[in-house]
Amino acid sequence: MNNYIKYSGLGFQMIIIIGVFSFAGYKIDSALHHQTQWVTAVLSLVGVFVSLYIILKSLKD
């Protein structure tokens, strides 16, 4: 049961990390009045890589 809770929390953690990075990119793009949302795209990808790194690191433990 303990492993189930640990692994189900990883999905929520991944969603939150990607969401925070995407929201930050959106706010930066809005503040700078960009026509294309490059900052949102880049920060979303950074969020994916950060969340994958954290998840892979926690699965090793």
Q: Which domain holds residue 44?
A: 2-60
How does pLDDT run along the chain (61 residues), one tens digit per residue? 677 777 788 889 999 999 999 999 999 999 999 999 999 999 999 999 999 999 999 888 7
Three-class SS of residue 58? helix
Task: Tell me how far apart the alpha carbons of residues 52 and 17 are, in angstroms, rounded to a whole number.
Answer: 10
* pLDDT score, position 21: 98
Task: Tell me how far apart the alpha carbons of residues 57 and 36 are, in angstroms, rounded to a whole number.
Answer: 34
Nearest CA among 50, 47, 48, 55 for reference residue 9: 55
Task: Tell me how far apart the alpha carbons of residues 23 and 2 are, in angstroms, rounded to a whole number.
Answer: 32
Considering the entire predicted model, what is its pTM?
Answer: 0.85
DSSP letter string, 26-44: HHHHHHHT-SS-HHHHHHH
Q: Domain count of the chain? A: 1
